[in-house]
Amino acid sequence: MNIIVKHSSPDAVVSDLLAIGLFEGQSVKEAGYGTLDAALGGLIEQVITAGDFEGKTLKARLLYTHGDAIATRRILLVGLGKQAEFTLAVARQAAGVAAQTLADLKLRRLATVVHGLTAAGVAPASAAQTIVEGTLLGLYRFITHKREENTQRPTVDADELILLAPAAEMVSALESGAQVGQILATSANLVRDLVNESGNYVTPKVLAGQAQALTQDMGISLTVYGEEAMREMGMESFLSVSRGSAQEAQFMVLEYFPAAAGADTLVLIGKAITFDTGGISLKPNDGMWEMKCDMAGGAAVIGALRSIAQLKLPVRVVGLVCAAENMPGPDAIKPGDVVKAMNGKSVEYMSTDAEGRMVLADGLCYSARYQPAAVIDCATLTGSIVMALSSDMSGVFANDDALFTRIQKAADAAGEPVWRMPIWKPYRERINSDVADMKGSTGTRYAGAITAALFLQEFVPENTPWAHMDIAGTAWQEDHKPYQPRGASANPMRTLVELARAWAK
């Protein structure tokens, strides 16, 4: 999409749809649209006075201008809610509302004011980034396998977004923010494509190929280790997961080096189970189709590296993607079997459906060679976290307060909420094993997210700040939201990028 920042008044811009935001109880003049409304003969104020539009959060009203009074034929009023409660998250959703309206009307050109520019503490660059993210995320559709007549939304693609700068001196900052927003949203939509795609189309080897295609010529080196190389490295825990599958496991190492030497190293680790049947501990059929999204953490890491490289951030970032398919084949691992991770610790399988932590264990061990400033893993790991936090917040377990604070700020900036969960040491005894150093799982959902984090902590490099993001509830969304259609969300890709951006500063 072509994104233009233009110093122009709303009444002069040429587009198919003009989106303007108003707060609850705000008059047209207070919002700065007096000239626009005068050109329309007071149409907007009439709608507000009649009570047909109150500015309530994300409520919208489409108006037709009927004539040549202004250059745009359609105006979308979007409610921003109470001004005192406004955040960039609201602005992002408001942009999503406008984007979906544009798509539903089969239009191509959208002009929009930059919501939030008049709010206290909102930087122009951040506001522009937010609007672009909300727009591009809101236009997303996954219709790869659909014929035209079976698509619920028209397949006309929007091709222009115009951001209106109220002052000439704001243009540069708005352009900078818009560029960041376009990079992040484009990568997020590519991540959505990977996660939405079926397991027969995205196998571990295909995912490795996609990682290569998405990051080539961006200053990222990619090394892919197959099962023979992984065996030589002692990744028995990782390899145990793929034993029942005809698809070979793949361990991807993506490395981004900044131009300047001496930068901190961040290691991002993603679980990428391209399809999870549960293995011998077979899942119920109902809902199993959704397990194509069990590679969401790995896809998010690939997208994050892509964005970080495009932004040329002055921080070294390593992405470790642990890809495998979990199937109940003839050689599948069994409950009660014992395997060893790279660091020599032994694990007794209790359930083969607790496979994500087994691949992450070796990924965490591998991260030690980088002597990282921090390690963050993200994984659709436990149903327990969904019971605790539902689908709007990811659970974060961290062994370092400062690292969690950084992640929380990054998540707030990205509009991907997180909640800190406890690494409760007394529960460590729940994964004690009679025959190995530990059990892979407890066999119960009670505190399952916590015991999973305690398990992972056993493989974190010594004295390394570490955080585990359990995205089982947030990686896939059932409800249609302003910039989130049903399906893959790309969570927490934008959070990881915002973390790296803040770290670089």
Active-site residue set: 283, 357
Amino acid letter, residue 157? D
The two beta strands, 394-398 and 2-7, are unpaired
Is residue 39 within 8 A of residue 96, CB to CB? The reply is: no
Measured at the alpha carbon of residue 305, what is the angle toward residues 303 and 306, in degrees to the nearest 5?
A: 65
- CA 8 to chain centroid, in Å, comes to 33
d(CA 146, CA 135): 23
Between the CA of residue 265 and those of 246, 301, 316, 362, 375, what are the distances in Å? 35, 15, 5, 19, 9
Amino acid letter, residue 162? I
Q: Following DSSP, what letter does each residue of 162-226 receive, concatenated?
A: EEEESSGGGHHHHHHHHHHHHHHHHHHHHHHHHHHS-TTT--HHHHHHHHHHHHTTTTEEEEEE-
Amino acid letter, residue 261? A
Between the CA of residue 494 and those of 286, 305, 385, what are the distances in Å? 31, 11, 20
Per the listing, tokens 């704001």 go with 170
The two beta strands, 394-398 and 466-470, are antiparallel
Per the listing, tokens 């009570």 go with 51
- CA 228 to chain centroid, in Å, comes to 32
Q: Following DSSP, what letter does each residue of 262-320 receive, concatenated?
A: S--EEEEEEEEEEEE--TTSPPPSTTGGGGGGGGHHHHHHHHHHHHHHHHT-SSEEEEE
Q: Would you give the DSSP letter of residue 42?
A: S
Measured at the alpha carbon of residue 15, what is the angle toward residues 27 and 151, in degrees to the nearest 5?
A: 105
Residues 6+ apart with CB under 8 A from 116: 86, 88, 90, 91, 122, 127, 130
Per the listing, tokens 């293995």 go with 279
The two beta strands, 17-22 and 74-79, are parallel
> Which one, of 175, 176, 188, lies nearest residue 133 by Cα?
188
Q: Would you give the DSSP letter of residue 145?
A: T
Burial of 337 (0-12, 13-18, 19+ CB in 10 A): middle
